[in-house]
Amino acid sequence: MRAALLLLLPLLLPLALPAAVPARPDLVVFLTDDQSQGDVSPYGGGGIRTPHLQALADGGLTFTRAYVASPSCAPSRAALLTGRMPARNGAEANHSRPEPGLRKWPAYFQELGYEVVAFGKVSHYRQAGEYGFDAHGHDVLHDHAGIEAAIDFLRRRPRSGAKPLCLMVGSHWPHVPWPEEAPEYDPARLPLPPGSIDTPRTRAWRARYAAAVTRGDDQLGQILTAVRAHLAPDALVLFTADHGAQWPFGKWNLYEAGVCVPLIIAWPGRIRPGRRTDAMVSWVDLLPTLLEAAGGRPPADLDGRSFLPVLTGAAASHRERIFTTHSNDGRMNVYPARAVRDERWKYIRNLRPELAFTTHIDLVGGRLGQRDFFATWEEAAGRDPAAAAALDRYHRRPAEELYDLTADPAEHVNLAADARHGVRLAALRGELDAWMKEQGDRQAITVEGRPLADRKTYGPGGAAAEEAAQAAKKKKGK
């Protein structure tokens, strides 16, 4: 492993600053799927090993406050590929798509003379065919052949006389289903994310998630090796993830674990290696930033703004506010919310607080098995008041939430009802109102949510009881 990492260092560590940087550098964007920021080693890692990502961070710039537009796959990726927030591109619910008339990522770079290709999950699965890529493929769930396809594309591509390249590679890790076995991780030694209920099944599933993260890192290593072999040494390499992990309080949530993602950019000759920045940036900023890095001029009508000066060290800050949105994921999760954060504070508005927060993780019939551990949370809640409080916090959200992210980074103490913070609450509330109006946010939800009063399919003992009833019915029918 160490030898493999050493081979990557020439890609990541510039030996000297060139007198002039080509106007059209090759661009490589590598995306992982459902991975929170804290779950990779440059951010602490939580005991999860990501050596290739650490090598990239050692050779580039690590952003500590990078945010997606929305904490589910389709709206997050549509925002990336259009430079527009969900209400302005049309992809608000998961599995939705941006408006067909909007200009999208490939067109901007093709206009600059780039060849733009995508392998793996870059857009939301098969939507890749609607974006105008010069080539794309392997965009169905867990089709890992996209990694080898990208490598083969680089291997076959002529090195002289070719257009500059914008290569986008989307790993399907660590999206569920996670590996059945995770022998490289000891469940007892892995820390659990804040808000988790500690049970043996929870830890077993956490080990499976850790193994999935490491598999994504292995794929990153393969791509970096191919980039070193087949592209110019000054290629810009960007790594990020589309939103947080499919874990309670992660994906589908506007908490930090759902919307704050890893972002690491290496660009030999232009970015000094081994740096970190607290500049706040959004996924909608990635399109204009790479356009400017490629010598283009980002259009003014995008929601995103270039942070190229942060990359080059000419600026230490970018945004003063970050806005995030969520609508729904089919009927498995119907919990529309909007949020704004500044340097220290975050305000979340839950638009339908009368609904229960539910996801694929907790619902009976939820896909891909995570009820296996969530059912143990419900069992623990029946005997442990602390577990019951944690489960209630998961399902029941107030209309407004206010968090001091400096004092409470895990967002456990809601200060919205604290009179001492009334002025701050009102100010952030007003900022969010103004932004939603500017965005033309209609707050539209087209599917029915689950009322808090409904205990048949969620809640302490509810889902477990329904599962037992379904099993008994099935047994009786045999």
Q: Are 316 and 310 in contact (CB under 8 A)?
A: yes
- As a whole number, the mean pLDDT across the chain is 91
Helices (H), 235-365: 256-259, 286-293, 308-312
pTM of the model: 0.91
Note the pLDDT of residue 17: 36
pLDDT: which is higher, 150 or 46: 150
Distance CA 333, CA 352 (A): 12
Each residue's pLDDT tens digit, 263-284 = 999 999 999 999 999 999 999 9
Residue 13 has pLDDT above 80, yes or no: no
| DSSP symbol at 116 | E
Write the pLDDT tens digit of every residue in 83-109. Answer: 999 999 999 999 999 999 999 999 999
8 A C-beta contact, residue 266 and residue 59: yes
Longest pairwise C-alpha distance within the chain:
78
How many angstroms separate the CA atoms of 111 and 115, rounded? 10
pLDDT of residue 21: 43
3-state helix, strand, coil in the chain (%, to 5): 40, 15, 45
Domain 324-470 coded CATH 3.40.140.10: no
Looking at the predicted structure, is the pLDDT value of residue 44 above 90? Answer: yes
CB 199 within 8 A of CB 270: no
Sign of CA dihedral 141, 144, 146, 149: negative
pLDDT in tens, 408-459: 999 999 999 999 999 999 999 999 999 999 999 999 888 999 998 775 555 5
pLDDT at 343 over 90: yes
Average pLDDT over residues 221-239: 97
What backbone torsions phi and psi does residue 112 show, to the nearest 5 degrees? -85, 5
At 214 the pLDDT is 98
CATH topology of domain 2-13+24-319: Alkaline Phosphatase, subunit A (3.40.720)
- How is the chain split into domains, by residue range? 2-13+24-319, 324-470
How many CB atoms within 10 Å of residue 454? 14
